[in-house]
Chain A
Amino acid sequence: GQQVMQIPQYQHVQEGEDFTTYCNSSTTLSNIQWYKQRPGGHPVFLIQLVKSGEVKKQKRLTFQFGEAKKNSSLHITATQTTDVGTYFCAGRNNDMRFGAGTRLTVKP
């Protein structure tokens, strides 16, 4: 069945360092969504990517969708303490499946 793998599981960075989380699917995806869950909170939608090779930016966040539409990445430039949380990808083939998430902690 469809699987979405996400790495790393945890990432601890110093404030100001960059951060990247990667998402890989066993099947070609029609689209991929990214969500952020703050500690103690619920997932909040960040962005959706649909096109092969698509790149979208939100301030310090850069989202990429692979050419084969099987992988995606989220890159945060110069992390801040407000970036703390767990970042999930969710890939859709027939149904949507969430990755296990990458938990980001930031040391001030």
Chain B
Amino acid sequence: EAGVAQSPRYKIIEKRQSVAFWCNPISGHATLYWYQQILGQGPKLLIQFQNNGVVDDSQLPKDRFSAERLKGVDSTLKIQPAKLEDSAVYLCASSHSGGGGRETQYFGPGTRLLVL
């Protein structure tokens, strides 16, 4: 079974530029998550999709971050404009149904973003 795919793996941009990340979850997984992991910290949930609907985006900085999952499969996360403090690893994860409980999340390899 193919895992969660993410691209690009690395990205270096200057502040105030825009950047987009792509994620393709495990086939058949209804729930998709985007996390931000700053060095030395645990992952912080940015947004959670159930199929193509947003379940939770309470921690997404909506003035600069946006995400979509139009067809309920792959997803993009965009930052516009980027700030220095956005430097982090952006992890995408998916789970089968997202019903909480004992659902296992499977993570992609992440995109490492460096904002200069």
Q: Do A and B bind each other?
A: no
